[in-house]
Amino acid sequence: MNGSIRRLATVALTLVAAVFIVSPPSAYGFAEDICYGPDGAPPHNCAPLPPSCSLDDPNGPICGLEAFARYGYTLRQPLGGRSLVHADSTYIIARTVGFSTRDAYWIAAYDEATDLGTFTPRDINGRLVPDADAWTTKDIGGLVRTHFATGGFLFHFLPTMRGPLDPEPDGSRPDIGDPRHEVMLTHVRRWAMAGPGSSTPLCTAGFTNPSADGDYATGTGCYGDDRPAQINGVYSLETPVAIPFTNVTGQQVISGEVRSSQFDSWIGSESSNARIGIYLHALGDRISHHVCTDAGTITAPSPDRPEFRIDLNKPTCDQGPHAVR
């Protein structure tokens, strides 16, 4: 009986996940944990842990199915929401380490916008704050978590490059100084820390031409230059069912036709804060999704196979467990 329930839950979860992933909304991905209520109602927790979820079995199929269903509820909220991690906590941390109120706000706003495409602030009752347009981020939809075609997905799921004899990394404490293995994370960090006006590139999937040290994260230009390489990947719905995705190396898409070399002019005066916010989002997701991305792998091009391969078709990337985390 338990086996039948598990199989039914697995099938149902795969079908539900397929609906969200294959036809994602343009501005939202999975879910936020604080949703705004209509008519000035107080915000509420829209992602509680389902009662069926046991701390002893976080990968239980019924738990995963119910948690994923909560995502559907969140996506239907007309005013959307925000993440306490990517928005509120980022703001508090930025203020704590010495950023001004304004800088901390914009860092947090672009951290949240990395999930949503744009971020507009609302007050405690879900109403737009005064002069909300002036406090709304520019669109960075190319980085959104469900946007596979632009490479945005890879700002949220950051696998490592490692050989068959390398140990599995510990993404709960990622090594931000290891560009050979933590390719995307160290690449985005380097770009963010370089600041506005720098020639440091921001590349799709973080892939640059090999650096002097041989890594693919810190080279002087995006991989292949004017002869880009394919990036072929798979991401688990419910193992072994996976979503294939394809990109090409080159400059990261920021919004529409805007590429990363135009980032500073596109964002404007808050470009420095936006870079920091985007990096903090990637760092936060590398940690929070590490059970999936630690198991994931990147394979570099070779003479007989001139493409990058990203394998996230792992049981720990299944949508049920991911929904719980």
- pLDDT for 25 equals 34
Q: What percent of the chain has pLDDT over 90?
A: 65
Highest average pLDDT, of 9-23, 33-47, 160-174, 198-212, comes from 198-212
Domains of the chain, by residue range, sit at 83-324
Least confident of 27-41, 178-192, 193-207, 242-256: 27-41
Distance between CA 146 and CA 142 in Å, rounded? 10
For the segment 89-111, the average pLDDT, to the nearest whole number, is 98
Please report the DSSP string for 179-210 in residue order. Answer: TTTSHHHHHHHHHHHH-TT-----BGGG-BS-
For the segment 18-36, the average pLDDT, to the nearest whole number, is 48
- pLDDT for 236 equals 92
- pLDDT for 46 equals 80
pLDDT tens figures, 231-282? 999 999 888 889 999 999 999 999 999 999 999 999 999 999 999 999 999 9
Mean pLDDT of all residues belonging to the chain: 86
Cα 36 to its chain centre, rounded Å, is 22
pTM above the 0.75 mark? yes
